[in-house]
Amino acid sequence: MKKILTTLTFSFFAFFIVSFAGNYDPGKQVYESFKKDFPHAMQVKWQMERSILQVARFTQNGRAQLAYYKENGEFLGQTWLVELNDLPRKVKEEALHTAGQVDIKSVYIFLPPEGYPYYYITLESNGKTIIKEIDSNGHSSFVSKKRIPII
């Protein structure tokens, strides 16, 4: 699970750097799984990441989201932009603990198909952008230095 989460974390950040010009065909298994998981999705665009992940960028219920799939159609998780005030108490406390020294630019939630969500906080200080991963219990680590634009 840690390896999958690490791969998804990297792909999550790389995904926002890649343009969505054109629309990639994810294949029948992935497409059918996606339609089952997100029947009300609109404006769906597909991208392949790192030759192993099928990523859908879409809106549902007015919220821009990303969904990650293996090539065999297995759902790996989804992510979307959230507000700092909407975070669980422990996560918000950990995010604000760092915020005294840096500016919080964005907050994303990653929700795997099982287990608890992870939160990714984009922080900026002195022109440098860093990403802080916080689990649902408030434990954190820095995972990347790549910049993530808002969905």
DSSP the chain: -HHHHHHHHHHHHHHHHS---S-----HHHHHHHHHH-TT-EEEEEEEETTTEEEEEEEETTEEEEEEEETTS-EEEEEEEE-GGGS-HHHHHHHHHHHTTSEEEEEEEEE-SSS--EEEEEEEETTEEEEEEEETTS-EEEEE-------
Q: What is the pLDDT of residue 131?
A: 87
Q: What is the pLDDT of residue 98?
A: 67
Residues paired with residue 48 on neighbouring β-strands, in sequence order: 54
17 and 146 Cβ atoms separated by less than 8 Å: yes
pTM: predicted TM-score of the whole model, two decimal places: 0.76
Q: What is the pLDDT of residue 3?
A: 52
Q: What is the pLDDT of residue 126?
A: 83
- Tell me the pLDDT of the chain (151 aa) as tens digits: 555 544 445 444 444 434 444 577 888 999 999 999 999 999 999 988 877 789 999 999 999 999 999 999 999 999 999 998 999 999 998 888 866 678 888 999 999 999 899 999 888 888 888 888 899 999 988 876 543 333 3
Q: From CA 134, how far away is CA 90, in angstroms rounded?
A: 9
Q: Which of 103, 120, 102 is nearest to 111 (CA)?
A: 120
| Location of structure tokens 């343009």 | 19
